[in-house]
Amino acid sequence: MDAGLNDVLIVGAGPVGAVCALALMQQGVAAHVLEAQPEDARADSRTLALAHGSRLILDRLGVWERLQGVTPITRIHISQRDALGVARLAADELGVPALGYVLPYAELAAALKQALREAGIAVEYGVAVARIESAADAAIVHTADARTLGAPLVAVADGGRGNAVPIPRFERDYGQIAVVCDVETELPHANQAFERFTPDGPAALLPKGDRYAMVWSASNADAQRIAALPDDEFLATLQRHFGGRQGMFLQAGPRKTFPLRLAYTGSDTAGRVVRIGNAAQTLHPVAGQGFNIGLRDAWELASLCGDTPREALGSTAMLAAYARGRRDDVIGGLGFTDFLVCTFSNDFAPLRHARGLGLLALEAVPPLKIFVARRMMFGARG
C-alpha cells in the first residue's frame, strides 16, 4: 500500500477537485488526485455561470488569467411571465466589475488541467475508485485496478458519479428537465442575463460570446418534445414562452437535456472522508448556485487544511469544523433554489400576486437588492 506520502487524496480531477488540489498546494499541503476518466477524454460541452466570488477564487489560484472566451454578466433582469413584477440587478450598484461570468466548461477544465500540470501536482487519469475504507490514522482508497492508497484525509470530488454514493439525506425530483442550447437573438445582449419564471419552470438566458446560452426548464412530458422540434418550430415556441425582450430568436444550436433534482448527501465528514461539490449536494440550476457552492467547498476545505496541524488532518475535530463552517452556505443555497423553483413553478393566483409583490420589493428596496445580489455572488458570507 502506498500510504503516508500525501496529506490529502482527492477523488476526481474536475474543476472542484482541481481547485481543491491547487488551493491545498498554496497552503503547503501535498495532494494526490485520482481521476476515473482518461486524460484525453472528450471535454464536457456544458456552459458554466461563475459568480464573482468564484472568479476571486480562480484569480487567487492564478487560473483566471488563463481563461479565454469569458463573457461578463453586468446586469440581470428577473421577471415572471404574464404577471406583475420585475427586478433588475446591476454590477455597478454593487461596486463589482461583473455579477458573474459565462464560459464553456471545457475552457475552465483545460486551464485547471494545465495549472495542475505546471504545479507538479500528481494526477492519475483512468483510475477508478472501487471503495474507500477508514482506518484509525488514514483513509484507504481501493482502486478498480486492485491498488490501495492511503492518506490522513480523502476528499471525494467525483460529482457523485462514483461507485459508493451514499443515500441522500434529502432529495426532491422537480419533475422538470432542462433543455439547453445556444441561441441568437435579434438584439445584442449587452452583457445582460435574464431569469424568466413561468408556471412550467424557470428559463434563463446567459450572455455567451455574441449569443446567449439558454437553460429552459420544462416538465418531463414537454421537455423532450421541445428539444426535438425542428429549428423553426423550436424558435417560435421559445418566442412564445420567453417573450420579446430580446427581439426575435433567430437561430438555435443543438439541444441537450438533463433532469433537474435536488439531492443533499452532505459532506459525509466521518472516517477521514469528506465529500465536496456535487458529490455532497446537487441543486436546480436556477440562480446558478450549485457549481459556485462546490468551488467554495474546495476553497474552504483547503484553507482549513492549511490551518490544521498535519497530525490532525482528517481528524474528527477537523472534519466537524469543516461541516459547521459550510453548513450555512450549503443549506442556504439549497433552500434558496428550492424556494424559487417551488414558489415560481405554478400558476396559483395568490402566489402569482405575492411573487409580483416580492419582485417589486426587490426592485424598490436597495438594501434588499444588495443582500440578495451579494448572497448570489459570495454565498452565506456575502
Tens-digit pLDDT profile for residues 3-50: 445 799 999 999 999 999 999 999 999 999 999 999 988 878 899 999
Domain count across the chain:
2
Asked if residues 64 and 337 have their Cβ atoms less than 8 Å apart, the reply is no
Q: What b-and-e string marks burial along 266-285, b requiring 16 or more CB atoms within 10 Å of the CB?
A: bbbbeebbbbbbbbbbbbbb
* pLDDT value for 18: 98
Hey, CA dihedral for 101, 262, 169, 339, is it positive or negative?
positive
Whole-angstrom Cα distance, residue 21 to residue 124? 13
Q: Is residue 252 part of a domain?
A: yes
Q: Tell me: pLDDT of 382 over 70.
A: no
Q: Which of 199, 234, 260 is the last residue of a domain?
A: 260
pLDDT digits (tens, 9 = 90+) for 242-272: 999 999 999 999 999 999 999 998 876 678 9
Whole-angstrom Cα distance, residue 88 to residue 20? 34
> Containing domain of residue 218, as a range?
173-260
Q: Is residue 322 part of a domain?
A: yes
Asked if residues 254 and 278 have their Cβ atoms less than 8 Å apart, the reply is no
Same domain, 220 and 278: no
* pLDDT value for 135: 84
pLDDT digits (tens, 9 = 90+) for 306-355: 999 999 999 999 999 999 999 999 999 998 898 888 888 777 777 777 88
Q: Is residue 325 part of a domain?
A: yes
Same domain, 206 and 220: yes
- Residue 293 has φ and ψ, to the nearest 5°, of -60, -40
